[in-house]
Chains A and B, each alone.
Chain A
Amino acid sequence: MTAVLEVNNVTKMFGKFQALNGVKFKLNKGEVLGFIGPNGAGKSTTIRILLGMLKADFGNAKIFGKDVWTDAVDIHKRIAYVPGDVNLWPNLTGGEVIDLFLSMRGVKVNKQRKENLMKRFEFDPTKKCRAYSKGNRQKVALISAFAADADLYILDEPTSGLDPLQERVFQECVQEVKEKGASVLLSSHILSEVERLCDQVAIIRQGSIVEAGSLEDLRHLTRIQINLRTREEASKLVEQDWVHDLTYENGTYIFQLDADHMDDLIRFIQPHGVVKLESAPAKLEDLFMRHYETTEGGV
């Protein structure tokens, strides 16, 4: 598979503060990459480097095989960008700004498609930007991004101001461009969104990538919540190193299981006479929280 986007050991300092430290990941054609991490981790900084707005101190990044700093204009002809915080000119209407952005991308615009998007997002393009709420300003950027085809979509927390219904519309849009073969870099806070949309995930913390891979692979690294009731006592569970946070209440064991030890668990509990076994699927959130806790705790 060809890499649309490649980030190689990118480091960025703001004065003495190291915002990025050897960031490295890549995105293949036709894939959706979830770029997640807590506030201040360096997501936006990475994305601004990818857009040629900040210059990396070390390392390099390439999009479509071109250098992001020197070939910015060429690259930008084939991408669409949506920032999390959209500010616009107060005295122009949303419709005017959308048209400006589209005209500058130099792509063919399908008017029908644009109108359609406005309808789906329930967006009124005739108001001045000063009257728009945060969500509405974000819609201006989203509509300009999705109203014309791009090879790569770079989305930096693009749904932070949308309500749940419009977030649905956004997810459909991502699905649609993915089906057309475009690639998407989606930085997000909303893990359910990433779980639903992304094939690949890169987790960044304090300027470094702490986990990267396909969602499937990562699920194996995570833990599953288990509710277990057995006829005989199974107190030896606590001694297994793939069992965590075990509690016993009203005859039910509740614990976290390392996702790749399901097999061991079944073998272990079978002799005790299983009455009930419930498992909640691995959540990206758990994975995320685990990284959050370990680094926070300094482990």
Chain B
Amino acid sequence: MAMHAHAQTGRLFRFLLKKEWLKLTIWLIGSLFFVFIGVFAFTEVYGDAAERQAMAIAMSNPAMEALFGRAIGLDNYTVGAMYSHTMTVMALSLFALLSILLVVRNTRAEEEDGILEMLRALPTGRLSHTISALLYLVLTNVLITVLSTALIFSIGDPSMTFEGALLTGMIYGTAGLFFGAVALLMAQLSSNGRGAMMLSFGILGVSYMLRIIGDSGTEVLSWISPLGLLYGTEPFVNNYWWPVLVALGITALIVILALYLQHRRDIGAGLLPEKAGKRHASALLKTTIGFALRLLKTPLIVWLIALLMLGVSYGSVINDVEGMLANNEIIEQIIMSNPDLNIVDQFISMIIGVLSIAATIPALQALLRLKGEEKKNRTEKIITGNRSRIKILGVFLGISLVTSIVMQLAQLVAFGGAMLAMDADLSFGSLFESGIAYLPAMWVMIGGAVVLIGWLPKFTGLIWAYLGFAFTVLYFADLFDMPEWLTGISPYYHIPEIPTDEWSWTVTLLSTGLAIVLAIVGLIGYQRRDING
């Protein structure tokens, strides 16, 4: 019987590759690109030892250590040490995420869809489907290990030794294996793919938090966190190998436990009990606003937390900006539009521009959700009810506008609060003025999205291209000397950069007016066009 538990695993595995190869290729290219950018940027931008040392000082404060990990290799901050220090935690989280998605997609999600039932009715073993997903997990992470090692070693500078490169590749792959195994275990506990994913992300989040707390004092917590443990290998600095072995050992135990649970349990069942849902819709859910908020609740909360964290992390580095820039020409050029002005002020206004673009994303997402619902053929049920189209689009538009304001204010508070906590000298007033000045530009983007929803529903994705363009302008306009007519297309470009510039009522009123016109045009279009589902 146990002998039969993996019958036909090979065939299932080949089949799995057939359906996954494209996703695998895209993920691998994306991941390697991420590794490449990191190594390339550090070797190019921080080729100079003095610059790196200045950076090392800037990086060794509690806020940065919380974000990136305990500072390592400070006495000789080579490119390798710098890469290890600043990129490892992010890379580990990325590969963990990739593996969680991979495992859930190929195990519990297929079980939930009823695909596993078809396979299990064939002469396949009770564990074959899971084992083939595990093989795929291993294959993916071995590829990540080998390719990352090769990439880092081939384009890195001399400080990036082969041993360090191999260890880096190994911890990337090990993080993937570990969290893939965790996801497989969670897939036994929860009876649906979404639940398994949420539990796994939760564990990843807890690992991240443990590492932050650990790296800001209670060191033992860092070692309990899988992310902290693997970070502790310190590639290119000390090259400790034992954490990899420990992590792989624990991974094996988790896999065995997951397979044991899987072998015993009923198909479709989860070990965690499911809460029964509500029998009746609440009064709030029955209103259009309540209904829309229910759809948007989770992503908006996630965005709020993300933006708060972004604000805190930018705010906490403000005192080190000068050291960090340390005459680094490329970065200086990105930030500085006017060499006569205070660089910290220019940095702040640039950061506020970046934050404003970031806060535009959830606002647009809230609005475009309506289009998403239409694509899934769900708006027709709302619209054929007693609610007018104008009202429905109006509600989503309203939520989008409120989102833009709330997100912007929240991250300004986080940014300013962190700066105060670091004893930076700043005026809260001018900081808020600067952030609020960007709101009309965000509304122009929202207005643009309404126009797309109203007139070109197939092309609502264009708004993201537009936002990406605006980001490029903000970041690179000074670096690449972009012509005025081109940069002027971005609504953010016209916003005065307070504190270095003055507040301008003309820009505020014109932008807001444009946003209103766009919204009205969009609403008219939505009133007249066919609803496709």
Contacts and interface: CB of A to CB of B under 8 A. Distances in A.
A92 B12 CA distance: 14
A141 B122 contact: no
Interface stretch (A30-38, A49-57, A177-185, A245-253): A49-57
A110 interface: no
A53 B266 contact: yes
Contacts of A265: none
Contacts, number: 74
A101 B114 CA distance: 14
Nearest to A73: B4
Contact of A85 (B1, B4, B114, B268): B114
A77 B113 contact: no
Contacts of A72: 4, 120, 126
- Max count, chain B CB within 10 A of own CB: residue among A51, A71, A100, A101: A100
Given A83-B117, A100-B15, A73 B123 contact: yes
Contact of A101 (B18, B19, B118, B268): B118
A237 to B, nearest CB: 49
A73 B125 contact: yes
Contacts of A205: none
A219 interface: no
A107 to B, nearest CB: 10
B390 interface: no
Interface residues of B, number: 27
A83 B114 CA distance: 9
B132 to A, nearest CB: 12
B266 A54 contact: yes
Interface string B115-152: 10111111111100000000000000000000000000
B521 interface: no
Q: What is the interface of chain B mostly: helix, strand, loop, or mixed? A: loop
B115 A104 contact: no
Interface string B11-26: 1100100110010000
Contact of A106 (B1, B18, B123): B123
Contacts of B22: 91
A142 to B, nearest CB: 12
B8 interface: yes
A131 to B, nearest CB: 15
Contacts of A101: 118, 122
Contact of A77 (B12, B120, B123): B123
Interface string B416-457: 000000000000000000000000000000000000000000
A271 to B, nearest CB: 61
Nearest to A100: B15
B273 interface: yes
A70 B120 contact: no
Interface in A84-117: 85-89, 91-92, 96, 100-101, 103-106
B122 A53 contact: no
Interface magnitude class on chain A: 20 to 34
Contacts of B122: 76, 81, 101, 104-105
A149 to B, nearest CB: 14
A106 B4 CA distance: 15
Nearest to A101: B122
A89 to B, nearest CB: 5
Contact of A73 (B7, B15, B19, B268): B7
B36 to A, nearest CB: 28
Interface string B380-421: 000000000000000000000000000000000000000000
Contacts of B12: 104
B267 interface: yes
A298 interface: no
Nearest to A104: B122
A51 B268 CA distance: 14
Nearest to B265: A55
A92 B123 contact: no
Given A53-B267, A81-B121, A104 B273 contact: no
Contacts of B4: 72-74
Nearest to A81: B121
A57 B440 CA distance: 65
Contacts of A81: 118, 121-122
Contact of B18 (A48, A54, A92): A92
B11 A103 contact: yes
A187 to B, nearest CB: 14
Interface string B457-497: 00000000000000000000000000000000000000000
Nearest to A48: B267
A71 B121 contact: no
Contacts of B1: 70-71
Contacts of B119: 104
Nearest to A69: B1
B123 A15 contact: no
Contact of B121 (A55, A76, A96): A76
Interface string B343-381: 000000000000000000000000000000000000000
Interface in A112-169: 141, 154
A87 B120 contact: no
Given A70-B1, A86-B118, A104 B266 contact: no
Contact of A15 (B18, B113, B115, B273): B273
Contact of A104 (B18, B19, B123): B123
B118 A53 contact: no
A89 B115 contact: yes
A55 B266 contact: yes
Contacts of B113: 87
Contact of B8 (A86, A96, A104): A104
A242 to B, nearest CB: 45
Nearest to A99: B15
B247 to A, nearest CB: 32
Nearest to A103: B11
Contacts of A106: 123
Nearest to B113: A87
Interface in B256-285: 266-268, 273
A100 B108 CA distance: 20
Interface string B96-123: 0000000000000000011101111111
Given A53-B268, A103-B11, A104-B122, 11 more contacts: A15-B273, A48-B117, A53-B117, A53-B266, A70-B1, A72-B126, A74-B4, A76-B124, A87-B114, A100-B15, A104-B8
4 closest A-B pairs (Cβ-Cβ)? A81-B121, A53-B267, A76-B123, A73-B4
Interface of B: 1, 4, 7-8, 11-12, 15, 18-19, 22, 113-115, 117-126, 266-268, 273
13 contacts: A51-B121, A52-B126, A70-B1, A74-B123, A81-B121, A83-B114, A83-B117, A83-B118, A85-B114, A87-B118, A104-B8, A141-B118, A154-B121
